[in-house]
């Protein structure tokens, strides 16, 4: 058995390199042309079914797949067994599946061996074959990794299913804390326990730290916390309102809004809190900075032209240009990691909706409409998805959608607002 799996792994390493050269799903494929895929229940009882369910949910959340219902193929998949030689490719093609996933899981002494394969049903070629030896605690991480492999094999770009999303949730009558959850909404846990209001978290590029605003000591100041550690460090000095931190792509600088000089302006500082530098000089409000992927530009919200609109400038505060001219409250921008789009929340019909545009302000498109108040959008690390908060189901909750506005799906079970998508994770 182990010799067979070893040979399978070696074969997959070679076969996948050639298979990845073909792009099955263009990144800009219209949302109404989803790629049909079948994910069979893994051999291995309830754990096998749980693993298959995670993969199906991952692919559905991506917005690129039509995951076929198991009722179409459950009996055939059971009859085929675990042998790849017994796969009835003609049947899978006949039910419309262009690709299919199968595998098995074996558990022994608290450890499990998960074997997963992805097949092209037309060419009958195995595109990906992976084996993971993990404990129960790390099972989901391994399965998300295989979903990432599926995305890379079929789109040419690795998935983000192992990434994390932070958000703020109400934890008491006068308290809000920052939480972290998997991108599918699984297992949220609190990062802060400040017994105060904590807001607007931002990820460091390495995914190891969070910057956020908290009223922990009475004043709205910016703090930094390392994930997995209880300590937090205040990096602003208790003067003025210090909000909306944003980490530069190289991790060396934090941009934020501060009223330390009287009016709210954009500042930068080191993550240590040292070398605080005023970037904008405006007597109205400048808030919500967001960095370009190259770190040489910053988009931000400002009232300098009347109403709250988006502006762009070089990271040293020069070359300021206005980006939005419609609506009366455009705020909360985020720059795609690809660099081709800026997403933001805007108000022009009474409530906030999510909009997207080119970095020069052209080609503005509305992504949400008529579904409550939709705010705080941020891109996934591959730029293909957007997370945001919405009140469409009553209280604010966290959703994700494709960057074209399709496939809007709630991922948080409880309340949530101010989401921020973390970097890619292995």
Q: Is residue 419 within 8 Å of 167, Cβ to Cβ?
A: yes
Task: Say whether pLDDT at 278 is over 50.
Answer: yes
Tens of pLDDT, residue by residue over 131-183, are 999 999 999 999 999 999 999 999 999 999 999 999 999 999 999 999 999 99
Task: Say whether pLDDT at 6 is over 50.
Answer: no
Alpha helices (runs of H) in 130-272, residue ranges in sequence order:
139-155
164-172, strands of its sheet edge to edge: 189-190, 175-182, 164-172, 417-421
Query: Average pLDDT over the chain, rounded to whole?
Result: 93
* SS3 (DSSP) at 40: coil
Domain boundaries defined on the chain: 35-155, 164-422
CATH architecture of the domain formed by 35-155 = 3-Layer(aba) Sandwich (3.40)
Q: State the Cα–Cα distance between residues 134 and 143, nearest whole angstrom.
A: 10
Task: Say whether pLDDT at 4 is over 90.
Answer: no
With the CA atoms of 213, 198, 206 and 60 taken in that order, what torsion angle do they form, in degrees rounded to the nearest 10?
-130
Higher pLDDT, 258 or 194: 258
* SS3 (DSSP) at 45: helix
DSSP, residue by residue, 215-251: -TTSS-EEEEEETT-S-EEE-S-S-S-EEEEEE-TTS
Q: What is the pLDDT of residue 282?
A: 87
Number of H helices, E strands in the chain: 5, 29
Task: Say whether pLDDT at 252 is over 70.
Answer: yes
Q: What is the pLDDT of residue 21?
A: 57
Q: What is the pLDDT of residue 238?
A: 86
Q: Is residue 397 within 8 Å of 389, Cβ to Cβ?
A: yes
Report CA torsion sign: 323, 199, 371, 165: positive
Task: Say whether pLDDT at 24 is over 60.
Answer: yes
Task: Say whether pLDDT at 249 is over 70.
Answer: yes
CATH architecture of the domain formed by 164-422 = 6 Propeller (2.120)
Task: Say whether pLDDT at 20 is over 60.
Answer: no
Averaged pLDDT for residues 320-325: 97
DSSP state letter for 105: E
Q: What is the pLDDT of residue 11?
A: 42
Q: Which two tokens stand for residue 422?
A: 């973390």
Tens of pLDDT, residue by residue over 218-227, are 999 999 999 9
Q: What is the pLDDT of residue 12?
A: 47
Cα separations (Å) of 153 from 148, 156, 339, 420? Answer: 9, 6, 23, 27
Q: What is the pLDDT of residue 15?
A: 45
Q: State the Cα–Cα distance between residues 347 and 301, nearest whole angstrom.
A: 13
Averaged pLDDT for residues 46-58: 96
Averaged pLDDT for residues 305-329: 95
Q: What is the pLDDT of residue 28?
A: 84
Q: State the Cα–Cα distance between residues 301 and 320, nearest whole angstrom.
A: 12
Q: What is the pLDDT of residue 338?
A: 96
> Which H helix or E strand runs over 55?
helix 45-62
Averaged pLDDT for residues 327-334: 95
Closest listed residue to residue 105, CA positions, set 174, 152, 151, 44 = 44
Q: What is the pLDDT of residue 285?
A: 96
| Tokens 């954009």 belong to residue | 266
Buried b (16+ CB within 10 A) or exposed e, 129-140: bbbbebeeeebb
Q: What is the pLDDT of residue 22?
A: 80
Q: What is the pLDDT of residue 384?
A: 96
Averaged pLDDT for residues 84-111: 93
Q: What is the pLDDT of residue 9?
A: 46
């Amino acid at each position: 058995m182990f010799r067979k799996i070893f040979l399978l792994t070696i074969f997959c390493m070679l076969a996948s390199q050639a298979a990845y050269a073909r792009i099955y799903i263009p990144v800009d494929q219209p949302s109404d042309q989803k790629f049909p895929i079948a994910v069979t229940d893994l051999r291995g009882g309830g754990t096998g079914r749980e693993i298959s369910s995670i993969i199906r949910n991952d692919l559905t959340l991506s917005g690129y797949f039509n995951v076929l219902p198991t009722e179409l193929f459950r009996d055939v998949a059971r009859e085929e067994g675990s042998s790849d030689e017994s796969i009835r490719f003609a049947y899978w093609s006949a039910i419309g599946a262009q690709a299919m996933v199968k595998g098995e899981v074996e558990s022994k002494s608290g450890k499990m061996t998960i074997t997963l394969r992805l097949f092209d049903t037309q060419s009958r070629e195995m595109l990906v074959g992976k084996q993971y030896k993990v404990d129960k605690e790390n099972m989901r991480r391994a399965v998300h990794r295989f979903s990432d492999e599926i995305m890379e094999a079929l789109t040419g770009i690795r998935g983000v299913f192992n990434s994390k999303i932070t958000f703020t949730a109400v934890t008491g009558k006068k308290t809000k804390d920052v939480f972290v959850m998997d991108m599918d909404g699984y297992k949220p846990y609190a990062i802060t326990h400040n017994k105060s209001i904590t807001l607007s978290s931002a990820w460091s590029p390495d995914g190891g730290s969070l910057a956020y605003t908290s009223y922990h000591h009475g004043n709205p100041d910016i703090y930094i916390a390392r994930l997995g550690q209880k300590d937090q460090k205040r990096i602003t000095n208790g003067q003025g309102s210090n909000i909306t931190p944003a980490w530069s792509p190289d991790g060396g600088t934090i941009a934020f809004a501060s009223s330390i000089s009287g009016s709210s302006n954009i500042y930068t500082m080191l993550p240590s809190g040292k070398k605080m530098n005023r970037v904008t000089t405006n007597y109205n409000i400048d808030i919500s900075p967001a960095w370009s992927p190259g770190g040489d530009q910053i988009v931000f919200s400002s009232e300098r032209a009347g109403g709250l609109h988006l502006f762009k400038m070089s990271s040293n505060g020069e070359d300021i240009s206005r980006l939005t001219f419609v609506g009366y409250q455009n705020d909360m921008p985020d720059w795609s990691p690809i660099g081709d789009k800026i997403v933001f929340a805007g108000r022009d019909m009474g409530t906030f909706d999510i909009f997207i545009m080119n970095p020069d302000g052209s080609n503005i498109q509305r992504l949400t409409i008529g579904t409550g108040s939709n705010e705080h959008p941020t891109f996934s690390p591959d730029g293909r998805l957007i997370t945001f908060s919405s009140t469409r189901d009553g209280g604010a909750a966290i959703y994700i959608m494709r960057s074209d506005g399709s496939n809007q799906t709630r991922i948080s079970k409880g309340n949530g607002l101010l989401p921020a998508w973390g970097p890619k994770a292995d």
